[in-house]
Chain A
Amino acid sequence: MSEKTITRQDLPSPRYEYGGDDWVFVELAEEMSFDANFKAQAITQEIRQNSLEGLIEVAPSNASYLIQFDPNVLHPDELIDELKSLEEEIDVSEYQWEARVFDIPVFYDDPWTHETLMDFRERHQDPDATDLEYSAELNGFDSVQAFIDHHSGAPHMVTMIGFVPGLPFCFQMVPHDEQIEVPKYEQPRTATPSRAIGFGGAFTAIYPVPGAGGYQLYGRTPVEVLDIDQELSAFEDSMVLPNPGDILNFRQIDRDEYDEIRSEIEDGTYQYNYDRVEFEIQAFFDDPHGYNEQLLEVLD
């Protein structure tokens, strides 16, 4: 029996750390939770709005955030004092934002990620299984399909963009006891196909470009999450598709649909299926499954 609500987490006192002379790193929790992420989003949004002189970069991450500043203008201790007072002021349950809900078609167990993961079996915990088989078994699912059904059965929130431009880290919007968790590869791969759907820790990632990676590989999406020339619809404002706080709904598709979408992407005619919603934390925490269903109605 799963919980019907998401329990609020009491976060520990944040750790304020110096990154050399020009960065400050703030860890809100060692453990991932919606509370930690929403707090990171709320504080970084606030600090952007306060436009403190000397700020260079403000980057929220899953359960922490990172700030780069010019120490000639702003002393790190002054910055930390400011962050501490923000931390005390912010009430996450009052925080709400406009999120976009995206349909992200996924061809699970596709031939490209399959070939890659087979090439790197010697770096894997279970060389005799595929990444999907390993993850399904580790999380107590009877079959790979049951695992895929779970992964695509509830939406995921983008909790961080990073690693490379446009790579979303996504945290599934379900109560803690329904979250899946898997280890990363024992040693990172040197290759990952672009648009691969990976999973590590408690996060799904979409790799925008080919490159190294340590997440388990489950499939491939035909849609782009990075468009540096901003030619595709949905990239009008930015070369990266989702922002932190946006919601991705992974939908299982077959090879035919994959190829169809791919050709529309390649000739620039593909229309992303997405819409805007006002995301309310308390409503989501009170009834996540009901709230998710309501969110996904905008994709119909």
Chain B
Amino acid sequence: MRILDGGLVTTVQDTGRYGHYHIGMPPSGAMDQFAHKVGNWLVGNDESDATLEMTYMGAEIEFEEDTVFAVTGADMDPSLEDEPIPTWTAVQAEAGDTLDFEFATEGARAYLAVAGGIDIEPVMGSRATYTLIGIGGHEGRSLEEGDELSIGESSADTNELLGTSIDETDRPDYSQSEINVVMGLCDYRLTDEGRQRFLDADWKVSDEADRVGYRFEGPDITDMFEEREQPFGAGTDVTNVVDLGYPVGSIQMAGQPIILMRDAVTGGGYVTVGTVVSPERDALAQCRTHSTVDFNAVDVEEALEIRQERDDLLETIQQSL
């Protein structure tokens, strides 16, 4: 397929690149894994096949051969040859057809899955694009006008897939504003009042919200930390710790909170105070700039239950296809 317009930011992504965190390599991969996986299943792919992740404003794409595809995630009113098409549904495109998108009306990231997956040589076991050092995906960068992507051979009977759709009730609600987090990591650095203020506040997603991290605006946090004599090697600021590893989904307090996403730095010296429960990293990836969220503290057992519910839903969806 040929890219006629790259949209705002469109990259090739998959389930991620794992096992290299110790050399500073973040996982990358689809920010909303739920939408990515379901998109793949709708077109008969393996969940780890590569899709296109489109942010806010989708790409314009010409199919060079007959292709079965599905659009999931954020609603960007896709149309094929100027005819609106349903989302979360397997659709047929014919050779020469053009797919384009409007600005997202709900959610922030849409996924385009094509039967056979996007065929690119994996780098360190993944096709995910990591733009900071320029690896994976198409030349390690966002897609631009004129790029051509090959599509792999599909092993599924694509005719049978056409029209397959996900029930409305099983599609995520991208207006979710409550994000569940497990407090911890270095939250001993917060005062009790600071921890409470963090959990009580409404936090606005700032303009600086991308695949690396989401920065939030809200109450002043400068007095939320316990005073102490800084340990050797940490640096002088109360928010400094001896440089340590940052989990994906962790909340770092650097001036204002930053939640680290899939292309984030893997470590550093800012205090981290908790971690977003894994399925809600998908929800956060669909939170739009200037929307507000509030953080709800759960314990690890509740976090595991939230994960289990999401896994059960995915399994139900997969079995229904």
List A residues at the B interface (Cβ < 8 Å).
Answer: 17-23, 25, 27, 29-33, 44, 56-66, 68, 71-72, 75-76, 160-167, 169, 171, 176, 179, 181-184, 186-188, 200-203, 208-209, 211, 214, 226, 228, 238-240, 244
Known: A59-B266, A166-B23, A184-B269. A31 touches B231 (CB 8 A): yes
Chain A residues within 8 Å of B233, by CB: 31-32, 62-63, 171, 181, 201-203
Q: Which residues of B contact A208 (CB under 8 A)?
A: 133
Query: Do the beta carbons of B23 and A240 come within 8 Å of each other?
Result: yes
The segment from B99-107, B198-206, B240-248, B288-296 that touches chain A is: B240-248
Check B277 for interface membership: any CB of A closer than 8 A. yes
Cβ of B164 < 8 Å from any Cβ of A?
no
Contact (A164, B278) CB under 8 Å given A31-B233, A66-B244: no
- The answer to whether the Cβ of B265 comes within 8 Å of any Cβ in the partner chain is yes
Please measure, in the bound complex, the distance between the C-alpha atom of A60 and the C-alpha atom of B242, giving whole angstroms: 13
In whole angstroms, what is the CA distance A187 to B245 when docked? 20
Question: Chain B: residues with CB nearer than 8 A to chain A?
Answer: 18-25, 132-135, 181-182, 184-186, 231-237, 240-250, 254-255, 265-269, 275-278, 300, 303-304, 306-307, 311
- Determine whether the beta carbon of B247 is less than 8 Å from that of A25: yes
> How far is A170 from B266 in the complex, measured between Cα atoms in Å?
16
Q: Which 6 pairs from chain A and chain B are nearest by CB?
A: A32-B233, A66-B245, A162-B267, A19-B247, A20-B275, A202-B233
Of the A-B pairs whose beta carbons lie under 8 Å apart in the complex, a sample of 8, sorted by A's number, is: A17-B186, A20-B278, A23-B249, A31-B242, A32-B231, A59-B21, A162-B21, A162-B245
**Which residues from chain B contact A214 at a C-beta distance below 8 Å?**
269
Query: For residue B18, which residues in chain A have a CB less than 8 angstroms away from its CB?
Result: 56-57, 68
Q: How far is the CB of A248 from chain B (nearest CB, A)?
A: 16
Cβ of B269 and Cβ of A19 under 8 Å apart?
no
Partner of B24, one of A63, A64, A167, A188: A167
Known: A20-B249, A66-B245. A228 touches B133 (CB 8 A): yes
User: Given A20-B182, A166-B23, are A27 and B244 also a contact pair (CB < 8 Å)?
Assistant: yes
Q: Are A162 and B266 in contact (CB under 8 A)?
A: yes
Q: Which residues of B contact A30 (CB under 8 A)?
A: 231, 234, 241-242
Taking a contact as CB atoms closer than 8 A, the residue among B132, B184, B231, B269 that contacts A211 in the complex is B132
Contact A59 B22 (CB under 8 A): yes
Q: Which residues of B have CB within 8 Å of A31?
A: 231-234, 242
In the complex, which residues of chain A have a beta carbon less than 8 angstroms from the beta carbon of B311?
72
Partner of B240, one of A21, A44, A201, A211: A201
Question: Looking at B134, B182, B250, B300, which has the most chain A CB atoms within 10 Å of its CB?
Answer: B300
* CB nearest to A71 among chain B residues: B304
In the complex, which residues of chain A have a beta carbon less than 8 angstroms from the beta carbon of B307? 21-22, 71
Instruction: Kindly name the residue among B132, B245, B254 whose own CB sees the greatest number of chain A CB atoms within 10 A.
Output: B245
A21 x B269 contact (CB < 8 A): no
Contacts of B231 in A (CB 8 A): 29-32
B24 near A240: Cβ-Cβ < 8 Å: yes
Residues in B with CB closer than 8 Å to A76 are 300, 304
Residues from chain B with Cβ under 8 Å of A20 in the complex: 181-182, 247, 249-250, 275-278, 303
In the complex the two chains form, what is the Cα distance from A135 to B161 in whole Å? 65
Q: Is the CB of B306 within 8 A of A21?
A: yes
Which residue from chain B places its CB closest to the CB of A65 in the assembled complex?
A: B245
User: Are A21 and B19 in contact, CB atoms less than 8 angstroms apart?
Assistant: no
Q: Are A162 and B303 in contact (CB under 8 A)?
A: no
Q: A72-B311, A240-B24 are in contact. Are A19 and B184 (CB under 8 A)?
A: yes
Q: Decide if B275 touches A19 in the complex (CB within 8 Å).
A: yes
Given A23-B247, A61-B245, A68-B247, check contact A163 B266 (CB 8 Å): yes
A29, chain B: closest CB distance, angstroms: 8
A20-B249, A161-B22 known; A62-B185 Cβ under 8 A: no
**Residue pair A201, B250 in contact (C-beta under 8 Å):** no
CA gap between A71 and B302 in the complex, in Å:
13
On chain B, the residues within 8 Å of A160 by CB distance are: 243, 245, 267
CB pair A201 B22 closer than 8 Å: no
Given contacts A63-B244, A162-B265, contact A201 B304 (CB under 8 A): no
